[in-house]
């Protein structure tokens, strides 16, 4: 065999190895990983990772368009936020899962509470770490009262409305008992919607009583498993490798952001500094509730 033939044989061997390599990966089952991390709701500088359907829609679609897709994994780390956005995001994930006939698995990181747990319930199965914080199936409204502050510094606020209840729960006015009663009725309605959604998604897997599960408490991953709020204690890769084999591949789906958005969390619809400060305080309070 001359030198030229040897070179040709080596090239052919390398091509065969490359074809085998890529053929292996073409045959591997794929799982797309969609990260849902942050407070749920409109974002600003104070809320760098705010989750809304408008921002996540393209990422959710991309997660269901991965070739040879076997499942979509939701990596959730959220203390909650907007009930509307929680419902919209979860509903969109469910609709695509049904359309593409793909199973969805949720994996709770540090916390999947309130709206974060709502997102988890979009999945067919939910898993968490033993030390994850899970639950908080309830409704909370937080605000500040500034009426004494503006009175002390000599500011007079003037508000004009058409509709006598247009100024309900105005933080610059003294708290009104009628407004509080109205808010509690609204919260009860939202709480019932949340409970119904969890019952619908978890069904007979719920093991605790309604009085325990739906009282707004949150638990460790181990306790959440005992109550039927999750399907098991485990880590994403190990759980999905057991289901789809050791050769399963994970595709991380990331939202495309500008440099400013990545570095500072700045979006086009930035708000005023005072609003941003309140947003930051509100977000910090949400995470602090769960020791984070």
For the stretch 122-136, pLDDT in tens is 999 999 999 999 999
Give the pLDDT score at 154: 84
End-to-end CA distance of the chain: 70
**Segment holding 187, helix H or strand E:** helix 177-202
Give yes or no for residue 272 having a pLDDT over 80. no
C-alpha to C-alpha distance for 285 and 168, rounded to whole angstroms: 23
pLDDT band at 206 (very low <50, low <70, confident <90, very high): very high
If one compares 165 and 132, the residue with the highest pLDDT of the two is 132
Give the pLDDT score at 47: 42
Give the pLDDT score at 219: 94
Give the pLDDT score at 239: 96
C-alpha to C-alpha distance for 202 and 185, rounded to whole angstroms: 26
Q: What is the pTM of this model?
A: 0.76
Q: Residue 225's Cα: distance from chain center in Å?
A: 19
227 within 8 A of 208, measured Cβ to Cβ: yes
Give the pLDDT score at 46: 42
Distances (CA, A) of 131 to 120, 183, 184: 16, 34, 32
Averaged pLDDT for residues 67-84: 94
Of 114, 57, 42, 41, nearest in space to 80 by CA: 114
87 within 8 A of 118, measured Cβ to Cβ: yes
Q: Which CATH superfamily is domain 28-138+202-288 in?
A: 2-enoyl-CoA Hydratase; Chain A, domain 1 (3.90.226.10)
133 within 8 A of 290, measured Cβ to Cβ: yes
Averaged pLDDT for residues 198-206: 95
Tell me what percent of the residues of the chain surpass a pLDDT of 70: 76
């Amino acid at each position: 065999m001359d030198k030229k033939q040897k070179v040709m044989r080596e090239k052919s061997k390398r091509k065969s190895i490359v074809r085998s390599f890529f053929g292996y990966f073409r045959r591997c089952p794929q799982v797309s990983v969609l990260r849902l991390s942050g407070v749920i709701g409109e974002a600003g500088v104070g809320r760098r990772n705010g989750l809304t359907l408008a921002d996540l829609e393209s990422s959710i679609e991309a997660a269901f368009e991965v070739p040879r897709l076997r499942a979509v994994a939701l990596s959730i780390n959220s203390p909650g936020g907007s009930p509307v956005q929680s419902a919209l995001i979860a509903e969109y994930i469910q609709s695509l899962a049904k359309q593409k006939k793909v199973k969805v698995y949720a994996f709770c990181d540090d916390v999947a509470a309130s709206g974060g747990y709502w997102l988890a319930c979009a999945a067919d199965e939910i898993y968490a770490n033993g030390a994850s914080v899970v639950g908080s199936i309830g409704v909370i409204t937080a605000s500040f009262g500034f009426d004494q502050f503006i009175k002390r510094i000599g500011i007079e606020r003037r508000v004009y409305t058409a509709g006598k209840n247009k100024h309900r729960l105005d933080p610059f006015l003294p708290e009104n008992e009628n407004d509080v009663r109205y808010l509690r009725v609204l919260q009860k309605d939202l709480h019932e919607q949340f409970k119904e959604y969890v019952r619908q998604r978890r069904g007979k897997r719920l093991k605790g009583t309604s009085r325990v599960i739906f009282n707004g408490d949150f638990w460790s991953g181990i306790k959440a498993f005992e109550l039927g709020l999750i399907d098991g204690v485990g880590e994403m890769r190990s759980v999905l490798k057991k289901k789809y084999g050791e050769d399963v591949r994970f595709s991380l789906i990331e939202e495309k952001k500008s440099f400013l958005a990545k570095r500072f969390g700045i979006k086009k619809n930035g708000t005023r500094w005072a609003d941003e400060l309140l947003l930051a305080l509100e977000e910090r309070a949400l995470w602090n509730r769960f020791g984070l």
